[in-house]
Amino acid sequence: MKYYISIFSSYILFSLLGIISRNIHFPFFVTLSIMSFFGFFISFVFYYYVNKNIISLFKFDIHSFFVSIIFVFDLTFLFVAFKYVNFSTVIILHYFAPVLVILFNNRKIEKIDLFITSIGFLGIFFIFQDNLNINTFDSNYYLGILFSFLSSFTLAGNIIYQHKYVNKLNNNYVIAVIKYNFYMFLIFSFFLFFIKYDISIIINNINDLYYSILAGIFIQGIAMLLFNYSIQFININNIAKISYSEILFVTFFGFLFYDEVINFLQFIGLMLIVLVNILGVKRINT
């Protein structure tokens, strides 16, 4: 039972990313750099508390590095999308990933795969039926939609990569979180250095800095630790089913904090995407 509590808790914390995105005014790479650093810090402190031997942390891990690159793009796409698009739309498009895994997982596409894909696109049509207005054009909105779609590609890429190299990824969940966050921090920091970002802007925005630190501790640190800990003991199919709770949590937070409401057809679209996930995960694991 404690493993299921842990993974549900991790999804609740992951669902807070949209709120962070809407309320912090730093550019995305600044916030995500701070989050990655404090995610690294809290997981490092936890690891040192339970295991004084930190030598293994300094060994470069190419597979963890590649996963970190995928996480960088995934977080970036989601962070930007949440700023401009309803929470429910972003997270539903994010969970279009199983369809992409089916299409790009290097195996023969069968009729059932085309059926699942068709359901997925039908779900997306229902979700957008209220949003497509040819008389208006909001560039930020369509940027958010684009990034929501792109986040489904990064999630699919993560699933495919980790499924392919599962035996080569670090089997210590704390070390994995430490390395993911450390590599992500290096990548975002390199970007900050490359564009010569004025660091004094960060120091002068105490509230944004404070919330970025908290987001790093709870989302990049505690949530990732809880998630990576739980998946060691829970069947992959059950993990997939539990992951749909993130759609509910994100939609609920959108309603609670920003009065975002979905109509009946959008709800049908949401249910179709959930169905696609259930069928897609079964196909991925066969």
Quote the DSSP letter at residue 217: I
Using CA atoms, how far residue 246 sits from 95, 191, 253, in Å, is 10, 30, 10
Is the pLDDT assigned to residue 140 strictly greater than 80?
Answer: yes
Which pLDDT score, from 0 to 100, does residue 134 have?
43
What is the Cα 215 distance to its own chain's centre?
14
Per-residue pLDDT, 78: 94
Query: The domain containing residue 104 runs over which residues?
Result: 2-284
∠ CA(114), CA(120), CA(125), 5° rounding? Answer: 125
Q: How confident is the model at residue 17 (pLDDT cuts 50, 70, 90)?
A: very high
Is the pLDDT assigned to residue 145 strictly greater than 90? no
34 vs 59, which has greater pLDDT? 34
**Angstrom distance (rounded) from CA 107 to CA 152:** 20
Summarised one tens digit per residue, pLDDT across range 147-184 is: 998 998 998 888 777 777 656 666 677 888 888 999 99
Question: How far, in Å, CA of 215 to CA of 183, rounded?
Answer: 18
Task: Give CA–CA dist 187/154, Å, rounded.
Answer: 16
* Model confidence, pTM: 0.85
Residue matched to tokens 């759609």: 247
Residue 280 in this model has a pLDDT that exceeds 70: no
Chain segment 228-275, per-residue pLDDT in tens = 888 777 776 667 667 778 888 898 899 899 988 877 877 887 788 777
192-236: pLDDT as tens digits: 887 777 777 777 888 999 999 999 999 999 999 998 888 777 776
How many distinct structural domains can be found in the chain? 1
The more confident residue out of 120 and 224 is 224
